[in-house]
């Protein structure tokens, strides 16, 4: 497959930056990296994200797929390559550090209604569908060797069951869990835990990673007959969408493609073929769905090809073929 990297380079510098690093394997000295990233953060859309993150923990989390939540904005900055030392990030990270629970896991502001076994009150806590995203962002931003990030990651890792990560939350949330069987693995929890663990030496967590990948690939294999915690693999799952926030094919392939030992797995190759078929139809991919809070971004335009979505697809296929 020929990659149209010239098209990706002729656009916003944040897309060009990742294209140079991830697709063209260009090397930059640290000063060039820092200068480019701070230029990116000075742009209006990115500056708006920084302004929002400065209000951490922000609004009460009611839905984990709410793309306006600060955890997803933080993860997007990490995906672009923003580092913990860039621009306004140190003061933002200082605020995040104040939200650790006793077990070290970073918390968000949430409100679980009483009819879902919650307290009905705003409180700081964590679930498996938010905590790994925060830790992923911190690790991706260069804090993968930070003692507190490692402590929280190991705590979550030790909660894995025989069939992967199940729906779990901080003990202060009582009996709360998502709408599924107690013994089922949670597909989204496994996905974002894999995303987090990909930022470390994978040999350290090899057994944990294998269980979670198997959990996701088994769901793909049984997609016509099975859902877990309401996560199904159907038409909506296969729609291209950015940023990488929820349970969809682009997000899943981006995470799974990081683990080379599964590249020849039939289930992974089947999933990859769905993306490849979309690229055969049009080498420049267009969003098939969008998050309304991100409507000003180029990847939220369903009428014009998106360089960011195309870049993500290129990177997935390059990893899978390496």
- Average confidence (pLDDT) over 45-54: 98
| Model pLDDT, residue 183 | 85
**Residue 61's CB: how many other CB atoms inside 10 A?**
21
For residue 294, pLDDT over 70 is answered with yes
- Average confidence (pLDDT) over 8-28: 95
- Cβ pair 173, 118 in contact under 8 A: yes
* Residue 92 Cα to chain centre, angstroms: 19
**Residue 121's CB: how many other CB atoms inside 10 A?**
9
- Cβ pair 307, 16 in contact under 8 A: no
As given in the structure block, the two tokens for residue 158 are 């030790």
- Lowest-confidence pick of 113-117, 150-154, 192-196, 288-292: 113-117
As given in the structure block, the two tokens for residue 30 are 């640290």
- Average confidence (pLDDT) over 54-78: 95
In residues, how long is the chain? 322
DSSP-derived letter for residue 257 is T
Q: Give CA–CA dist 3/19, Å, rounded.
A: 11
What residues have CB less than 8 Å from 303, skipping those under 6 apart? 286
- Average confidence (pLDDT) over 39-66: 95
Q: Which domain holds residue 158?
A: 5-321
**Residue 26's CB: how many other CB atoms inside 10 A?**
11
- Average confidence (pLDDT) over 239-258: 97
Q: Which residues of 4-22 are buried (b: 16+ CB within 10 A; e: fewer)?
A: eeebbbeebebbbbbbbeb
Q: Give CA–CA dist 277/270, Å, rounded.
A: 11
**Residue 177's CB: how many other CB atoms inside 10 A?**
19
For residue 211, pLDDT over 70 is answered with yes
| Model pLDDT, residue 117 | 61
Place of tokens 């897309």: 15
Q: Give CA–CA dist 95/148, Å, rounded.
A: 14
- What string of DSSP letters covers 143-188? ITT-HHHHHHHHHHHTT-BTTB-BS-B-GGGTT---SS-TTSBPHH
| Model pLDDT, residue 113 | 72
- Cβ pair 267, 213 in contact under 8 A: no
pLDDT band at 39 (very low <50, low <70, confident <90, very high): very high
> Can you give the CATH number for the domain in which 44 is found?
1.50.10
**Residue 158's CB: how many other CB atoms inside 10 A?**
9
- Average confidence (pLDDT) over 141-166: 96
What residues have CB less than 8 Å from 43, skipping those under 6 apart? 12, 14
| Model pLDDT, residue 172 | 79
**Residue 145's CB: how many other CB atoms inside 10 A?**
9
Closest to 246 (Cα-Cα) out of 186, 192, 180: 192
Can you give the pTM of this predicted structure? 0.95
Q: Give CA–CA dist 303/285, Å, rounded.
A: 10
Closest to 41 (Cα-Cα) out of 13, 7, 71: 13
For residue 116, pLDDT over 70 is answered with no
Q: What is the pLDDT of residues 187-205, one digit of tens each?
A: 999 999 999 999 998 788 9
Q: Give CA–CA dist 125/111, Å, rounded.
A: 9
| Model pLDDT, residue 112 | 76
Q: How many domains does the chain have?
A: 1
Task: Return phi, psi of residue 140, to 5°.
Answer: -65, -30
Q: Give CA–CA dist 143/30, Å, rounded.
A: 17
For residue 176, pLDDT over 90 is answered with no
């Amino acid at each position: 497959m020929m990659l149209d990297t010239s098209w990706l380079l002729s656009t916003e510098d944040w897309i060009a930056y990742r294209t140079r690093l991830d697709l063209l394997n260009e090397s930059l000295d640290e000063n060039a990296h820092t200068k480019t990233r701070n230029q990116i953060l000075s742009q209006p859309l990115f500056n708006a994200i920084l302004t929002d993150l400065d209000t951490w923990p922000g609004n009460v989390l009611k839905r984990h797929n709410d793309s306006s939540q600060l955890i997803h904005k933080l993860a997007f900055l990490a995906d672009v390559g923003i580092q913990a030392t860039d621009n306004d990030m140190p003061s933002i990270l200082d605020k995040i550090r104040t939200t650790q629970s006793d077990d070290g896991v970073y918390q968000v502001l949430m409100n679980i209604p009483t009819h879902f076994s919650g307290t009905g009150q705003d409180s700081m806590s964590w679930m498996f569908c938010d905590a790994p995203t925060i830790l992923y962002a911190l690790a991706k931003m260069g804090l993968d060797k930070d003692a507190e990030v490692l402590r929280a990651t190991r705590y979550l890792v030790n909660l894995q069951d025989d069939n992967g990560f199940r729906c779990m939350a901080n003990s202060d949330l009582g009996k709360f869990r998502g709408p599924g069987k107690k013994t089922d693995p949670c597909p989204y929890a496994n996905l974002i835990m894999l995303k987090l663990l990909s930022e470390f030496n994978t040999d350290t967590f090899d057994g944990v990673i294998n269980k979670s990948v198997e959990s996701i690939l088994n769901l793909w294999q049984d997609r016509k007959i099975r859902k877990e915690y309401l996560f199904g693999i159907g038409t909506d799952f296969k729609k291209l969408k950015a940023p990488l926030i929820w349970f969809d094919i682009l997000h899943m392939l981006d995470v799974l493609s990081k683990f080379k030992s599964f590249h020849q797995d039939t289930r992974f190759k089947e999933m990859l073929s769905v993306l490849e078929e979309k690229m055969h139809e049009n080498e420049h991919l267009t969003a098939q769905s969008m998050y309304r809070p991100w409507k000003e971004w180029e990847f939220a335009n369903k009428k014009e090809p998106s360089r960011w979505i195309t870049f993500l697809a290129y990177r997935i296929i390059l990893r899978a073929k390496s």
